[in-house]
Amino acid sequence: MKNVKFEDLGSIEYKDAWDYQEKTFAEYLKIKAQNRDLPIDKQIEIEGKVLFCEHPHVYTLGKSGEQNNLLINDEFLNKIHASYFKTNRGGDITYHGPGQIVGYPLIDLERFNLQVKQYIANLEQSIILTLKEFGIESERLEGATGVWLDVGTNKVRKICAIGVKASRFITMHGFAFNVNTNLEYFNHINPCGFVDKGVTSMEKELGKRMDIEKVKDVLKEKMEEVFGMNLR
C-alpha cells in the first residue's frame, strides 16, 4: 500500500479548487523533471494527494467539449446562481453542485504502474464498488467514461462523470459523483455531450437523502482497495 495524502476541502469555489490543483500539479511536474537527472536512489517520491470537495453550482467544459452543450445564457446563469468555466481536462460539459462528491486525485501514475486508460477504469471501479455497498448496481458504458445505471436499456443514466488531465503521468481533475445532487441543474446542459441519456443520483435511486460523509468514507475505502493506496 502506497501512502497518499487525503484532504477534504469541504465546500469550495470551483476556481479556488482548480488553482490549488494547478499549484500542486506544477510542483509535482517540477519534481518529475528533477528526477530525470538523478539516479533511482536519489529520486524524490511524489506522495500525491486525493482531494474531496463540493462546489457551489457551476458548469465546466472540457477542452474537447462543445460550448453549445450549455443550453443557457449568462443572464440565466446568474438567475440560477451558477458560474461557468472552460477547463483543461478531457471530456465535455458537466455540472458540479452541492450534494455531489467531487474527487481530484493528483498522483504519479508511474508510482502505481498505471496508464491513463487503466487509471480511469480504476476510478470507475471505485465508484461501482461504492454504489454496490448501498445496494445500487452500476457499470461502465462502452465508448463513454463514467459510471452508469441500466446500461443497454432506454433508461440508461449516469451517476458519476469523469474527466481527467495527465502530463508526465501526473494527474489532475477527476470525478463528480451524484449523491444528493439537485438534478434539475442538468436540464440546462447536454451532460457530457450526450443528448439521449439521463442523469441520476443516489438520493433519487434510493428514495432518501444520503449521509454524504458515510458515502465519502466508503468511497475512500474502495479507492484504497482498487488503487492499493493508503489515504491518510
Per-chain mean pLDDT for the chain: 93
State the pLDDT at residue 174: 97
Question: Contact, 62 vs 95, CB < 8 A?
Answer: no
Q: What is the mean pLDDT of residues 154-172?
A: 95
pLDDT tier at 162, thresholds 50, 70, 90: very high
Q: Strand locations in 87-194, DSSP E?
A: 93-96, 100-106, 139-141, 144-149, 157-167, 170-178
Range of the domain at 36: 2-231
Is the alpha carbon torsion for 73, 78, 79, 85 positive or negative? positive
pLDDT digits (tens, 9 = 90+) for 14-43: 999 999 999 999 999 999 999 988 998 899
Question: Contact, 188 vs 76, CB < 8 A?
Answer: yes
pLDDT digits (tens, 9 = 90+) for 175-216: 999 999 999 999 888 755 555 578 999 999 999 999 999 999
State the pLDDT at residue 103: 98
State the pLDDT at residue 224: 98
Catalytic center residues: 192
What is the total count of domains within the chain?
A: 1
Is the alpha carbon torsion for 12, 175, 218, 197 positive or negative? positive
From 73-82, 109-118, 211-220, the region with the lowest mean pLDDT: 73-82
Q: What is the mean pLDDT of residues 40-58?
A: 96
Burial annotation 135-161 (CB, 10 A radius, 16+ → b, else e): ebebebbeebbbbbbeeeeeebbbbbb
Query: For 36-157, where are the alpha helices, taking DSSP H only?
Result: 74-79, 116-133
CATH code of residue 83: 3.30.930.10
